[in-house]
Amino acid sequence: MNDNKIIDLYWQRSESAILETDKKYGRYCHTIAYNILYNDEDAEECVNDTYMRTWKSIPPQRPECLSAFLGKITRNLSIDRYRKSERQKRSGIQVELVLSELEDCIYSKNGIEEMMKEKFLVQCINQFLYRLPEKKRNIFIRRYWYLYPIAQIAKQYSMSENKVTLMLFRMRKDLKFYLEEEGITL
């Protein structure tokens, strides 16, 4: 079933919307959650929470891209769950590592002015990514959106971990320079 029909089911408040969403995007959402949480049960809970949040969000929202809408919800819920569990354990590995890698490029505070800056920041990052060759863009997205470990990216692209690490370092450096050119300072 295509995305517009699934969205129409949400607007009609048909419970089959969730079933169709799960058929088409369940595995996709689970992959996002699992790459953050490394736990099948927690990932499955996040996927179910994604469906609930989607049910509450559509209507009034009508997403242009259902996969991106679901991916963003899943990612945010998974990161929240990860942070909550890590606060309890007082340790963190993958998610904190990945997010800390981007700290030199991206700065964030709360507030309306900051939200406007954040929208501009998202636009700039998207423009930066579209300028990259497809392979580099995909590696960047796998690392910083899907939170794949470097070893998994290296294996997927038949590269050494050192080469992937260096490539990501250079892309972060280029991103920082690009953002500064656009007037975004840290």
Class level of CATH domain 97-181: mainly alpha
Is 107's pLDDT higher than 80? no
What is the second-level CATH architecture of the domain 3-90?
Orthogonal Bundle (1.10)
Q: Where are the domains of the chain?
A: 3-90, 97-181
Q: Mean of the pLDDT values across residues 56-77?
A: 93
Overall residue count recorded for the chain in this entry:
186
Q: What residues have CB less than 8 Å from 54, skipping those under 6 apart?
A: 10, 18, 21, 69, 70, 73
Q: How far apart are CA 160 and CA 167, in angstroms?
A: 11
Q: Mean of the pLDDT values across residues 41-63?
A: 94
Q: What pTM was computed for the model? A: 0.68
Is 178's pLDDT higher than 50? yes
Is 93's pLDDT higher than 60? no
| Token representation of residue 54 | 């989607």
Is 91's pLDDT higher than 50? no
Burial 74-95 (b: 16+ CB within 10 A, else e): bbebbbebbeeeeeeeeeeebb
Q: How far apart are CA 54 and CA 170, in angstroms?
A: 36
CA 103 to chain centre: 16
Encode pLDDT of 116-165 as tens digits.
Answer: 667 788 888 889 999 999 999 999 998 988 888 999 999 999 999 999 99
Positive or negative CA dihedral for 5, 55, 18, 72? positive
Q: How far apart are CA 124 and CA 39, in angstroms?
A: 33
What pLDDT sits at residue 122? 80
What pLDDT sits at residue 8? 95
Token look-up 């689970």 returns 30
